[in-house]
Structure 1
Amino acid sequence: MREVRIVNLTRDSVLAEKAAVAETPGSRRRGLLGTDCLETGGGLLILPCRQVHTFGMRYPIDVVFVDESWAVRRVSHNMKPGRLGALVLSSRAVIELPAGRAMDTQTQAGDILDALPVRGRR
């Protein structure tokens, strides 16, 4: 699975140093299920995606919904396990982050994000 660095251009901050990209039906369906935590600097970019759930999850997450121009449409803070998130029809992708990361970076609706390729070490 490829990885990207997700930055908030509006706030000049980094949401995730290494976010895995879930873009196949299987990887989108699997998401973070079966994981014990999201490490600091980690995340999951799911595309396309308009809604997520945390059924079967073991820990809370922050969820950031972005549209086709990477503008933040909605932020769900500290989404606990066993929940069904909002359906955001204007969303093109969802970024799942460690709980508290969206607040730490002051990410909010209207901010512009970008996803940059993570370069491998040589």
Structure 2
Amino acid sequence: MKLILENSVQHIPIKIFQYNTFLKRLKGLMFRMKPIVKEGILLSPCNSIHMFFMNFSIDVVFLNDKNQIIFIKENVKPWSVIFPIKHAVSALELPNGTISKYSIQLGAFIEI
């Protein structure tokens, strides 16, 4: 899967992996030793995340049922938690710095 910001028709060169089972969502990026580069994961359904057992920071974007960005958090540190986000149905975990590099903004629609 590829990531496209629909409001600017901007293709973001990041390969997206879909994690839509309980075990895949639970593990997520835990225990990976190196930061993710040019890849991300879409957790669905998901309205919160934890960074337990993580070894690097990431950017996180929460989406509603229309794939509209409703919450953005940059540089989420290991061992932190993002509590449930109202109306979020999925979370997109991206390499640290992706949000600012591609000017990802609230209200934008994402095609995956």
Note the alpha carbon deviations across 1:76-102, whole angstroms, 9 max, x for none: 000011101132121111000011101
Q: Distance in 1 between matches of 2:11 and 2:56?
A: 22
Specify the SS of the correspondent of 1:28: helix
Write the deviation string for residues 3-30 of structure 1: whole angstroms up to 9, x where unpaired.
Answer: x212111132234531111001100000
Q: Is 1:30 the counterpart of 2:27 in the alignment?
A: yes
Q: Is the 8 A contact 1:62 1:101 kept in 2?
A: yes
Instruction: Could you tell me which runs of 5 or more consecutive residues in structure 1 were left unpaired when the two chains were aligned.
Output: 116-122
2:75 — aligned with what? Answer: 78
1:77–1:102: 8 Å Cα contact kept in structure 2? yes
Instruction: Please report the TM-score for the alignment, with normalisation by the length of structure 2.
Output: 0.93
Aligned to 1:47: 44
Alignment of 1:69-108 (within 5 A): 69-108=66-105
Contact 1:16 1:97 (C-alpha < 8 Å) held by counterparts: no
Would the aligned equivalents of 1:11 and 1:107 in 2 still touch at CA under 8 Å? no
Higher mean C-alpha deviation, range 74-83 or range 4-13: 4-13
Give every structure 1 segment of 4 or more consecutive aligned residues whose post-TM-superposition deviation is greater than 2 Å. 11-17
SS for the counterpart of 2:17 is strand
Alpha-carbon distance in structure 1 between the residues aligned to 2:106 and 2:83? 14
**TM-score of the superposition, structure 1-length normalised?**
0.86
Unpaired stretches in structure 2, ≥5 consecutive residues? none
What count of residue pairs does the alignment treat as equivalent? 111
Q: Secondary structure at 2:66's aligned position in 1?
A: coil
Matches within 5 A, 1:104-119: 104-115=101-112
C-alpha RMSD of the superposition: 1.2
The answer to whether the 8 Å contact 1:32/1:57 transfers is yes
CA distance in 1, matches of 2:12, 2:89: 18
Aligned identity (percent) is 23
